[in-house]
Amino acid sequence: MLISLFPSISPLVICCSVVLAVGIACLLRHVLMRENEDEISHTGTGKISRRLGSFERYFSIIASGYSTCYLNTVLLLESKVKLDPGHLKTALLMLSERFALLRMRITVDNVFQQCFEEMEDPQSLEFQTRMDIDSENWMSAFNEHINCAPFNTEKGPLWRVTLLRETTESEGEGILYKNALLFTFHHIICDARSVFEFKNKLLQFLGSLYNGKAMKVETLAFRPTLERMTLNLTKPNILERLLIPLLVGCSKLSAMIRKPKMANLYLLKFPPNVRDSLAQTTHAIPRRLTKEQTMALVSCCKANGCTVHGAITAATHLAMKQIIEPEQTEQKPPLLFDSNYTVDIRQQCEPKLGREEFGLYAMFDALQIEVKGTEEFWDFSRTCTNKVHRKIDSGEHMNFLKLIQCVNLPSLWNLFCSETKHGQRKELFNLTNLGVLSIDQEGKSPYKFAGAYFAVQSAKFPFITGNEIFTINDQLYWTVEYSPEIITRSRAQDFVDLSLRILMDACIS
């Protein structure tokens, strides 16, 4: 119609006008949004509240569709004394007094923007005891937790706790009590590093309650949004505000017209059982190294000039290469593996945040590494280490934070979903390494840390496996997450065991 009326208007002019119109609309939206900035306020009833940032809203959108994007973790304890569930509840309440985000629910303000707001009853807990599952069989309860019902976000709290049945074991003259605690947190309130901080404080509070010592809880400040705290690094300029939505629009258009093509190397070789990976359940495989193995790994990484993260990246890539392409020949072209890794950005916030903070301060970034399969292990580990360091130094891990401030979030998520359905996304793993941590290493608390595992339901994303790794009190814990519709349990096990074997072999030789 328009073209027939003005035959002289070329498609190029129309294109340019559309581009301009979209750009203006985006700028306008930006200006309008700025009027009601995400400041922390107090409601009429004195409750703390603030609008969600883009990053939080993105996770909230993901979670609302699939009850995914929850952090799940198990904490194993051993003690010479029984665990008093009353003490446990008190300690949990002390934690929610300390960390404001544990008291939050999600509401909507008068302009329909999602906000955090303190719960009506800040003392409410979602706590249950399961007498039907022994603490030693925590794995089955953990799998249930990973795939649990969504949170009632309007009511809160945005986390839940399950205590399993205490078991005992005789140890010398006395009795050893074993407990397993399962936690699920909504990802919008915290990252994996924060969950560790939560556990650390929990043991401290439990210890002082057991010793009958009164303890004053120090309440930490409720923080502004991540975008605001990284304003200097992530604030998009006008050009970016114009161009990024256009790029996303183009990807959407091309996703609509192009015939979906599988790009995931693993799925090309082993086609998935089902198409829609997002609808599937996540399962976990726990692994750990002994203290001796962990120390050996750390010291030979040091001796070879690479980080443990670099060595693990190398090992996972070599293992995946062997699974996808077992025969190694010099003639074959190398494979390109895509993965994502997580970066803690507490130190890049303004003000700088300390380790004790609880919140969502983890960004992720994409990594692409070439694997021949014939690399010398430590050379390859150094390559991986340098690659990650270079990306972080150039600030690439902040790009996603910039991106989400420029585009419409539901449409970004829809694009991601449509790309995911047919295995078009290339990422093979999500790898999070929290590094070296310690919990009550002096052994002050009567409840001793006896292990921890972690799962984020990464397997619901196009990742073949999600890997959560950390070293607590000199022992490395590694959880692999997978979805049985994407990768079989035995192959996911082979993957992690092969990765660990490659790592340990490299340390011995």
Ligand X SMILES: *[C@@H]1O[C@H](CO)[C@@H](O)[C@H](O)[C@H]1NC(C)=O
Residues near ligand X, by CB under 6 A: 191-192, 231-232, 340, 342, 350, 362, 364-366, 400, 425, 427, 430, 432, 456, 458, 461-462, 468
Q: Decide whether 196 or 210 has the Cβ nearer to ligand X.
A: 196
Nearest approach in angstroms of CB 311 to ligand X is: 19
Q: Decide whether 58 or 377 has the Cβ nearer to ligand X.
A: 58
Q: Decide whether 63 or 242 has the Cβ nearer to ligand X.
A: 63
Q: Decide whether 458 or 483 has the Cβ nearer to ligand X.
A: 458
Tell me, rounded to whole angstroms, the distance of Cα 491 from its chain centroid.
23
Nearest approach in angstroms of CB 425 to ligand X is: 6
One-letter amino acid at 390 equals R
Q: Decide whether 166 or 427 has the Cβ nearer to ligand X.
A: 427
The DSSP line for 92-136 is: HHHHHHH-GGGGEEEEE-TTS-EEEEE-SSTT---EEEEEEEEGG
Q: Decide whether 129 or 368 has the Cβ nearer to ligand X.
A: 368
The DSSP line for 318-378 is: HHHHHHH-----SSSPPEEEEEEEEEE-GGGSSSPPPTT--S--EEEEEEEEEE-S---HH
Nearest approach in angstroms of CB 346 to ligand X is: 14
Pick from 77, 74, 286: nearest CA to 168: 77
Nearest approach in angstroms of CB 228 to ligand X is: 8
304 Cβ contact list (under 8 Å, min separation 6): 311, 378, 381, 382
Q: Decide whether 135 or 234 has the Cβ nearer to ligand X.
A: 234
The DSSP line for 90-102 is: HHHHHHHHH-GGG
Nearest approach in angstroms of CB 7 to ligand X is: 42
- Distance from C-alpha of 496 to C-alpha of 284, rounded to nearest angstrom: 11
Nearest approach in angstroms of CB 251 to ligand X is: 11
- Distance from C-alpha of 7 to C-alpha of 216, rounded to nearest angstrom: 78
Residue 420 vs residues 69, 82, 98, 109, 267: alpha-carbon distances, Å: 16, 47, 39, 33, 12
CB 91 within 8 A of CB 206: yes
Nearest approach in angstroms of CB 195 to ligand X is: 10
One-letter amino acid at 460 equals K
Q: Decide whether 267 or 507 has the Cβ nearer to ligand X.
A: 267
Nearest approach in angstroms of CB 388 to ligand X is: 13
Nearest approach in angstroms of CB 155 to ligand X is: 24
Q: Which two three-digit tokens encode residue 424?
A: 């078009």
Residue 261 vs residues 258, 265, 419, 494: alpha-carbon distances, Å: 8, 12, 9, 28
Q: Decide whether 410 or 443 has the Cβ nearer to ligand X.
A: 410
The position carrying tokens 């605690």 is 181
- φ, ψ dihedrals at 155, nearest 5°: -95, -40
Nearest approach in angstroms of CB 467 to ligand X is: 8
Q: Decide whether 116 or 361 has the Cβ nearer to ligand X.
A: 361
Q: Give the SS3 label for residue 461.
A: coil
Nearest approach in angstroms of CB 127 to ligand X is: 24
Q: Decide whether 191 or 197 has the Cβ nearer to ligand X.
A: 191
- End-to-end, the C-alpha distance of the chain in Å comes to 74
